[in-house]
Amino acid sequence: MNISPEQLQTLMKHSGYGLGEEHPDQVQTLVIGNESGIGNASNVEEYIQHLEGKEFIHKSNSEHGRIHSPFLQFISRIVRALEGIPGDWFAPKDQCDVWEEIKNGHFYSESAQLVDIRPLPRPNESVWPYDNIHERNYLNGFKNLKSKDKFVQELINQKIQSIQEQIRSYKNLRYIIAPGAATMKKKFLELVFPEMKFNAIEIRTSRKTMTYYVGNTGKIKVVVCPFFDSKNGIGYEGLERVFEFLK
């Protein structure tokens, strides 16, 4: 597709998923992802139409509303733990007393918002649906947060500014969690919060050793960590370490 300037601005203005747009004062946890998928839409055009309010997507991509994405399940776990809801939130699913709630509830629960750094959604990372935007320039630009391509650099600048403004609108925000692409997200958050200094902390679990970046700005605690996943990411033990840093 050739994305139009109007469609691009719709995507740039998209503030993610959760309570933030309608109830900003309820947002206590902001999760910063890499890029959005297209949800229940069949293509990017339909997804943008949904954001514009022109077309409601009726199809369901999960049986009975269940969360099949491990990434979203990890968000569901830690958000509910931060909310203080009783349960063994960091246990493997076959030992977890709240597994049904994790997979059947909204991943952002009642106090969280998920926003992505890269503004252009894709059905998956093997697909590039934008004929009039250079894929390598775009991906490398957001990887390094700097680009010689003026168009891409302007997208980066706009995204930094929009997330700054989004964070300012959340008067009761307490936690920021940025999983995956940790080096880039640390740099991104340093641009969002120029006053913030991160401490690099080595985390050992029974599976691996990883580096987390922990910081705070005023009343907001921040953790940047490797990807949320039980196979190739931080695992449930690593997720519990994120919780401990935030609390």
What are the structural domain ranges in the chain?
5-246
Do residues 42 and 188 lie in contact, with contact meaning Cβ atoms separated by under 8 Å? no
Question: Could you tell me which of 27, 3, 69 has the C-alpha nearest to residue 177?
Answer: 27
Do residues 34 and 183 lie in contact, with contact meaning Cβ atoms separated by under 8 Å? no
**What is the CATH code of the structural domain delimited by 5-246?**
3.40.470
- At what angle are helices 150-169 and 182-192 packed, to 10 degrees? 70
Residues 6+ apart with CB under 8 A from 84: none
Find where tokens 């733990």 sit: 81
Do residues 47 and 76 lie in contact, with contact meaning Cβ atoms separated by under 8 Å? no
Per-residue pLDDT at 64: 47
Do residues 10 and 55 lie in contact, with contact meaning Cβ atoms separated by under 8 Å? no
pLDDT tens, position by position, for the chain (247 residues)?
Answer: 999 999 999 999 999 998 887 899 999 999 999 999 998 889 999 999 989 877 554 443 444 457 788 999 999 999 999 999 999 999 999 999 999 999 888 888 889 999 999 999 999 999 999 999 999 999 999 999 999 999 999 999 999 999 999 999 999 999 999 999 999 999 999 999 999 999 999 999 998 999 999 999 889 999 999 999 988 899 999 999 999 999 9
Q: Is 84 left (phi over 0), alpha (psi -120 to 50) or beta?
A: left
pTM metric for this prediction: 0.93
Per-residue pLDDT at 178: 98
Distance CA 141, CA 154 (A): 10
Give per-residue pLDDT as tens, 11-51.
Answer: 999 999 988 878 999 999 999 999 999 988 899 999 999 89
